[in-house]
Amino acid sequence: MNNIDLAEDAVLMRKVAGGDRRAFLSLYDKYAARVYGLALRVLGDRMTAEEIAQDAFVRMWTRAETFDPKRGRLSSWLLTITRRLALDRIRFESRRPPTSNYSNPGEAPEYVPDPASETEEARWATLKFALNTLPEEQRLVIELAFYHGMSHSQIAEYQATPLGTVKTRLRLGMKKLRLEWDQGEKSN
């Protein structure tokens, strides 16, 4: 890559930071194959590589103002984003429970209680009822965190929601869940 290409990339990124879609599409056309290729090499799965490539370009669009051409090439910056997203996906997938029988984050897995334990069965029923009384955004955050093992940051990224909002929803949801739990325990 020569100095003219580097200067052109810097100009296009300034335009992208200003919301110029044509500049974004120009950079997409220039780098999409390399970004996808890297994601595919890291992940080994075409569909996941496509998702990661798309996420990398979304990041480029939303964080274009953070690119500094004095610190390096645009291609290096974009491929670093891609590599980190791919590695984050690998880490996330490795932490997921291997016996997962649920695929929708809004769906809590069914628990099959020990028939000999009526107390445990009643507790699970109370928990399930309490979860269903929560506002949807609080219930979903709790399910993503506890049933799917996602971190606060992963939930924020997944929902495209600020991290502080995720933490607030989780805290409020857990507080309401505790109140419902306590009321359910008293009635049993």
What pLDDT sits at residue 25? 93
pLDDT at 84 over 60: yes
Whole-angstrom Cα distance, residue 123 to residue 80? 47
Nearest of 61, 183, 64, 166 to residue 129 by alpha carbon? 183
Class for domain 3-95, per CATH? mainly alpha
Residue type, 139: R
Whole-angstrom Cα distance, residue 41 to residue 79? 12
Whole-angstrom Cα distance, residue 74 to residue 11? 11
Q: What is the mean pLDDT of residues 93-106?
A: 57
Handedness of CA 122, 125, 130, 131 (dihedral sign): positive
Residue type, 97: P
Whole-angstrom Cα distance, residue 177 to residue 171? 10
DSSP H helical segments within the chain, as ranges? 3-17, 21-43, 46-62, 74-95, 118-133, 136-146, 152-159, 163-187
**pTM, two decimal places:** 0.51
Tell me how long the chain is.
188
Q: pLDDT (tens digit, 9 = 90+) per residue, 111-158?
A: 444 444 556 666 666 777 777 788 889 988 888 887 777 788 888 888
Q: What is the mean pLDDT of residues 59-77?
A: 91
User: Which CATH fold topology does 118-187 show?
Assistant: Arc Repressor Mutant, subunit A (1.10.10)
Delimiting residues of CATH 1.10.10.10 domain(s) in the chain: 118-187
Delimiting residues of CATH 1.10.1740.10 domain(s) in the chain: 3-95
